Amino acid sequence: MDVLGVDIGGSGIKAAPVDVTKGTLTRERIKVATPQPAKPKALAEAVRGLVAEFGWSGKAGITFPGVVTDGVIRTAVNLDPSWIGVDACALFGAATGLECQVINDADAAGLAEMRFGAGAGQQGTVVMLTFGTGIGSALFIDGTLVPNTEFGHIEIRGKDAEKRASDRAREVHELDWAQWAGRVDEYMSHLEALLWPGLIIVGGGVSRKADKFLPLLDGLRARVVPAKMLNDAGIVGAALVGA
């Protein structure tokens, strides 16, 4: 069965139909820039446009970079604050005419990796971290998702971790890979002290360049691996939720 997956990020929105039995995209994904400012009406229109490009009329799952409970947005740190309190399921459903489900973006990526990727079959505590505009997180205990963790906001040196260690922070502060890896290592060490995971999966756009920084991480007990689905994990996870 194919379900449309839509992955909303702070800088871009990606979408593609997904075979949810295999975890594979069945058509080439389409990406558009996230509207600025990223207010609800503008974002809903962008999603509507992607649905129209695919000529989609079936089920859809949509990710959101913030806490989502029962389809309602509770936080929107990297988007517009006017999202808080919005029923995203109702908004996107009205804009697209589709039956939609909405989930936190990192949770979606984690679900995909645990089903089809680097976490498949892994028991115990697993953490998925997505490094992009911010740092998203997903926590799994024996394969079960603990939803809406916000570990990107752990305080490191008086600041949200994502202000120091996100991929955007790497670009803004013009850090080389070794400098950035040092910040990521410090962040993950704090997280490890709280959760003691057996596996940390690194996703987000920067996962395509995992070979440039993962070998530089040296202060961790957990096994740290790149996401197998790279930056498509959010699309696949969204589709899983929408199925």
The per-residue pLDDT for range 81-113, each reduced to its tens digit, is 999 999 999 999 999 999 999 999 999 999 999
CB atoms within 10 A of CB 72: 16
Same domain, 74 and 131: no
Q: Write out pLDDT tens, residues 172-185.
A: 999 999 999 999 99
Same domain, 92 and 185: no
Banded model confidence at residue 133, pLDDT cuts 50, 70, 90:
confident
Q: How far apart are CA 42 and CA 154, in angstroms?
A: 30
Same domain, 94 and 136: no
Same domain, 145 and 84: no
> Which tokens sit at 33?
């820039």
Domain count, the chain: 2
Is 30 part of a structural domain of the chain? yes
Is 114 part of a structural domain of the chain? no
Banded model confidence at residue 215, pLDDT cuts 50, 70, 90:
very high
Q: Is 0.85 topped by the overall pTM?
A: yes
Angle, vertex CA 93, rays to CA 63 and CA 21, nearest 5? 55
Is 116 part of a structural domain of the chain? no
Is 191 part of a structural domain of the chain? yes
CATH of the domain at 210: 3.30.420.40
Is 112 part of a structural domain of the chain? no
For residue 217, is pLDDT > 90?
yes
Three-state SS annotation for the chain? CEEEEEEECCCEEEEEEEECCCCEECCCCEEEECCCCCCHHHHHHHHHHHHHHHCCCCCEEEEECCCEECCEECCCCCCCHHHCCCEHHHHHHHHHCCCEEEEEHHHHHHHHHHHHCCCCCCCCEEEEEEECCCEEEEEEECCEEECCCCHHHCEECCEEHHHHHCHHHHHHCCCCHHHHHHHHHHHHHHHHHHHCCCEEEEECHHHHHHHHCHHHCCCCCCEEEECCCHHHHHHHHHHHHHC
Same domain, 96 and 21: yes
pLDDT reported for residue 231: 82
Which candidate, 14, 6, 148, places its Cα nearest to that of 77? 148
Q: How far apart are CA 68 and CA 23, in angstroms?
A: 23
CB atoms within 10 A of CB 223: 13
Same domain, 88 and 47: yes
> Which tokens sit at 47?
């999603």
Question: Containing domain of residue 133, as a range?
Answer: 122-227
Q: Write out pLDDT tens, residues 21-46.
A: 999 999 999 999 999 999 999 999 99
For residue 141, is pLDDT > 90?
yes
Banded model confidence at residue 53, pLDDT cuts 50, 70, 90:
very high
Banded model confidence at residue 158, pLDDT cuts 50, 70, 90:
very high
Residue with tokens 């389409």: 30
Banded model confidence at residue 219, pLDDT cuts 50, 70, 90:
confident
pLDDT reported for residue 78: 86
Same domain, 7 and 82: yes
Banded model confidence at residue 128, pLDDT cuts 50, 70, 90:
very high
Same domain, 103 and 128: no
For residue 124, CA distances in Å to 35, 144, 198, 239 come to: 39, 10, 7, 25
pLDDT reported for residue 230: 85
Same domain, 67 and 131: no
For residue 205, is pLDDT > 90?
no
